[in-house]
Amino acid sequence: ARRRCALAARVAAFERRVLTLPAWAHFAVWGAGREGRRFASALSSCARARVVALVDDDAAKAGGRYVNRRLVPALTLPIVHTAELRAGTPTVVCVARRRADEPGALSSDSAGAPEAVQRAAAVLGLVEGLTLWHFC
């Protein structure tokens, strides 16, 4: 219950701070795993309607759909591969960051973001703090 309450508060703050900006009329959620699904489901119904897709670099997840029937209206989002994300689409990154002491962790200058996100952001022309935000 505490975790859900904390998530709801963080998401509400994110909506007020970021999703009110004109560039965020429609946006993608990077991460079709637990964190991305929780974020998308915690959005207000108005904000959920603006999510174009869950994006993932795992080809096995791409092509599927995420459905949460517990929400009213039910949330149904396509899951697309990062290569299918349209350039310039504002994106919220919801993937768990690795700790510095974990195997495969990135250097400190990458701010903990996975390399795939950094590469895709560069290709898509996303700018951290403007059209790319890390939520988790």
> Tens digits of per-residue pLDDT, 43-71?
999 999 999 999 998 899 999 999 999 99
Ranges of residues in the chain with a pLDDT under 50 are: 104-112
- Give the number of other CB atoms < 10 A from CB of residue 125: 11
- pTM confidence score: 0.86
Distance CA 43, CA 41 (A): 6
**What is the pLDDT at residue 113?**
52
Kindly tell me the burial class for residue 107, based on how many C-beta atoms sit within 10 Å of its own C-beta (0-12, 13-18, 19 or more).
Answer: exposed
**What is the pLDDT at residue 116?**
79
